């Protein structure tokens, strides 16, 4: 009897690992084939702050302007604002850039922003007002145009071929006009009852 018990104990100690190894051989390639490798990119943007300015007006050389670009279905509307600017200077920031043959006029946009950056070198912020029907690729193209520009060969240094334009960007959407208070109310009679 003791002999049979020792034999049974010896048989129970030996585990058959072959099924587990077969499972791993099948499972590991299946998991690797099902894995997805994505390369994600991001665009750094921020939400605009509605903070009242409390600083005194700065001298003209230190004025910072904020550019606004409305990306609409068939054109780009550029405008700007800044503390200490007179109405004529603010008007000079405006530009209407209609699409050319169905494509955004990014070259004229870049030239306009380069001119403004030359006049107000401390400026660095652009706000994009996006129409809900605009394609994502168009938004990215406008953002890329506003961030930096390629320097001419005479000014470019090795490793510094690009100069920043308006690297701080903020995306927002066009506000929808609120209905008037009179709209949506039923017309009333003189007694104040709703007319049928």
Query: What structural domains does the chain harbor?
Result: 65-173 (3.30.420)
pTM: 0.58
Are 68 and 80 in contact by the 8 Å Cβ rule? The answer is yes
179-189 per-position pLDDT tens digit: 555 555 555 44
When comparing pLDDT for 190 and 91, which is higher?
Answer: 91
Whether 98 has a pLDDT exceeding 60, the answer reads: yes
Q: Is the pLDDT of residue 26 over 70?
A: yes
Q: Which among 45, 73, 49, 47 has a CA at the least distance from the CA of 146? A: 45
Q: Of 171, 159, 141, which is closest to residue 47 (Cα–Cα)?
A: 171
| CA contacts within 13 A on the Cβ side of 131 | 12
pLDDT tens, residue by residue, 142-178: 988 898 888 877 777 777 778 888 888 888 876 666 5
Position 196 pLDDT exceeds 70: no
- The distance of Cα 159 from the centroid of its chain, to the nearest Å, equals 26
C-beta of residue 70 within 8 angstroms of C-beta of residue 88? no
Hey, is 149 helix, strand or coil? strand
The pLDDT of residue 189: 46
Quick one: pLDDT at residue 53?
Answer: 56
pLDDT per residue as tens digits for the range 117-152: 888 888 889 999 888 888 888 888 998 889 888 887
What gap in Å lies between CA 194 and CA 56, rounded to an integer? 54
Contacts of 160 (CB under 8 A, 6+ apart): 151
Q: What is the pLDDT of residue 14?
A: 67
* Other Cβ atoms closer than 10 A to 54: 5
64 or 40, which is more confident: 64
Q: Rg for the chain (alpha carbons), in Å?
A: 33
pLDDT band at 96; cut points 50, 70, 90:
very high
Mean local confidence (pLDDT), 43-69: 69
What lies within 8 Å, CB to CB, of 81 at 6+ separation is 65, 66, 68, 90, 93
Contact present, 165 and 114 (Cβ < 8 Å): yes
Confidence of residue 12 (pLDDT cuts 50, 70, 90): low
What is the structure's pLDDT at 108?
A: 92
Question: Residue 57 is encoded by which pair of tokens?
Answer: 């007006």
């Amino acid at each position: 009897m003791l002999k049979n018990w020792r034999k049974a104990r010896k048989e129970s100690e030996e585990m058959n690992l072959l099924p587990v190894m077969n499972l791993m051989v099948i499972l590991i390639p299946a998991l690797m084939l099902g894995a997805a490798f994505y390369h994600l990119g991001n665009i750094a943007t921020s939400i605009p702050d509605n903070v009242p300015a409390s600083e005194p007006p700065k001298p003209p050389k230190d004025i910072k302007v904020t550019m606004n670009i409305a990306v609409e279905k068939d054109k780009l509307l550029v405008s700007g604002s800044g503390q200490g600017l007179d109405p004529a200077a603010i008007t000079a920031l405006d530009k209407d850039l209609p699409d050319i043959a169905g494509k955004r006029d990014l070259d004229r946009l870049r030239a306009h922003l380069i001119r403004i950056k030359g006049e107000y070198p401390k400026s660095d912020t652009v706000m994009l007002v996006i129409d809900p029907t605009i394609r994502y690729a168009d938004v990215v193209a406008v953002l890329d145009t506003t961030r930096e520009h390629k320097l001419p060969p005479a000014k470019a240094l090795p490793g510094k071929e690009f100069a920043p334009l308006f690297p701080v960007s903020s995306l927002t959407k066009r506000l929808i006009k609120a209905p008037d208070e009179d709209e949506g109310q039923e017309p009333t009679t003189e007694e104040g009852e709703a007319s049928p």
